[in-house]
Amino acid sequence: MNPESYRTEFPHIEEGIIYLNHAAVSPMSNRVRQALEHFMDHRQVANIEFWPNGLEEKQALKADLAKLLHLPAEQFAIVPNTSTGLNILAQGLSWKPGDRILLNNFEFPANVYPFLNLERKGVVVDFVPHRDGRILLEDIEAAIRPETRLLSISFVEFLNGFKNDLYAIGELCKQHNIWFAVDGIQGIGVQTLDVTAAGIDFLAVGGQKWLMWPLGTAFIWISKRLFPHLHPAFLGWLAVEDSWNFFDYRMDLLPDAGRFEPGTMNVMGIIGARAAMQPFLELGIETIERHLLQLTDYLADELQAMGFSLLSDRSAKHRSQIVTFRTDNGEALFQALQKHNIRVSLREGNIRVSPHFYNTREEIDQFLQVLKKLK
């Protein structure tokens, strides 16, 4: 791919900012801003009651997701964020005291708190210990108990970019008859994944990172196997079949994942998300993944040549578009990089670097040159 054709869409580049922090939140492209400005201009005067069009935009976004991920559109629901998605799962299943959920102790809290919240119902949460940022399949298998009913894990771990082997984990869950949930926020859009082949039952993805959606816009995907066992813990008025028959309070739920969506939705977020999806549909995830692995392989090699120790696993199976390296002066280094208009993350004293499809080898070289001076 040629990143240059997309670089004009990101004004921060013209301002001299090298943005390598997409694992935190992505910048807004010109086409997203234009879509939002068009919506606001249109809604102010021409189409104040935008609601019917908003519903159409939501369905169109699901259709875009279906194309991108090669999954049925009716299995997607649009939600505010990853946390909401995982709470839909946690609160939607029937639990009894003594049931167990398997997590690991290297997860972002959004994939932990929704399940810890079930402890008040007598559910037990077990944690697989990580090994220097790596979650090993044998450790997961050793932690499974007869009472384990669900396993939830990230596609890519936020701190160091460790890509979990979801296919092997999914097979393990299948063998033990365990529901398999994935927090996909750090991988979907930039890492290829056959959700069905991996045996995933539930996928929750916030869009503000790698998908470059506006904040407060996310989606969930529910497998056909799980769907009959998952019940809405709260119901919006649009969750039923005949929602516009206001005084017929029949709870005939929608036959698809739309039953899990709230009432009034984030229309601006949805419109921005649709605009943000265009480059992903144009390029394809496979092309984006290849570009980012080339960039991050180069970055990782150069960092190690400079004497930095990586927290990231760069093996073929587990590497991702995130590179995190250790440093004794993380805070000072982070602040110095900021002053040079280079945006990265400071996480647990480490520096995390996360480029996207429009970033170039030249930008990585500029980052490395500054780093050499600061080291």
The string of DSSP codes covering 198-262 is TT-SEEEEESSSTT-PPTT-EEEEE-TTTGGG---SS--GGGBTTTTSTT-----B-SSGGGGS-
- Number of independent structural domains in the chain: 2
Residues 66 and 167 in one domain: yes
Would the pLDDT of 3 be above 80?
no
What pLDDT, on the 0 to 100 scale, is given for residue 47?
83
In sequence order, the β-bridge partners of residue 180 are: 151
Pairing of strands 218-222, 76-79: antiparallel
User: Contact, 362 vs 3, CB < 8 A?
Assistant: no
Residue type present at position 356: H
pLDDT digits (tens, 9 = 90+) for 120-135: 999 999 999 999 999 9
The H or E element spanning position 325 is strand 323-325
Does any domain span residue 28? no
Helices 285-305 and 267-283 sit at what angle, rounded to 10 degrees? 80
Q: Average pLDDT, stretch 309-320?
A: 97
pLDDT digits (tens, 9 = 90+) for 4-30: 889 999 999 999 999 999 999 999 999
User: Contact, 266 vs 216, CB < 8 A?
Assistant: yes
Does any domain span residue 205? yes
Give the end of a domain, one of 281, 299, 315. Answer: 281
* CATH number of 168's domain: 3.40.640.10
Pairing of strands 179-183, 18-19: unpaired
pTM exceeding 0.85? yes
- CA 47 to CA 223: how far, in whole Å? 37
Residues 248 and 306 in one domain: no
User: Contact, 167 vs 197, CB < 8 A?
Assistant: yes
- pLDDT classification of 60: cutoffs 50, 70, 90: very high
Q: Share the mean pLDDT of the chain.
A: 96
Does any domain span residue 311? yes
What pLDDT, on the 0 to 100 scale, is given for residue 244?
84
Residues 273 and 288 in one domain: no
Residues 53 and 88 in one domain: yes
> Which has more confidence, 285 or 4?
285
Q: Average pLDDT, stretch 103-120?
A: 98
Would the pLDDT of 117 be above 90?
yes
Q: Average pLDDT, stretch 94-112?
A: 98
What pLDDT, on the 0 to 100 scale, is given for residue 42?
87
Domain enclosing residue 306, as ranges: 4-20+284-374
Give the end of a domain, one of 231, 259, 281. Answer: 281
Give the end of a domain, one of 249, 281, 313. Answer: 281
pLDDT digits (tens, 9 = 90+) for 223-268: 999 999 999 999 999 999 998 888 989 899 999 999 999 888 999 9
Coil, strand or helix at 270: helix
Q: Which residue has the tokens 């969750």?
A: 239
- CA 356 to CA 31: how far, in whole Å? 17
What pLDDT, on the 0 to 100 scale, is given for residue 272?
98
Residue type present at position 243: S
pLDDT digits (tens, 9 = 90+) for 67-100: 999 999 999 999 999 999 999 999 999 999 999 9
Does any domain span residue 155? yes
Residues 289 and 277 in one domain: no
What pLDDT, on the 0 to 100 scale, is given for residue 196?
98
Residue 330: CB atoms within 10 A of its CB come to 16
What pLDDT, on the 0 to 100 scale, is given for residue 49?
82
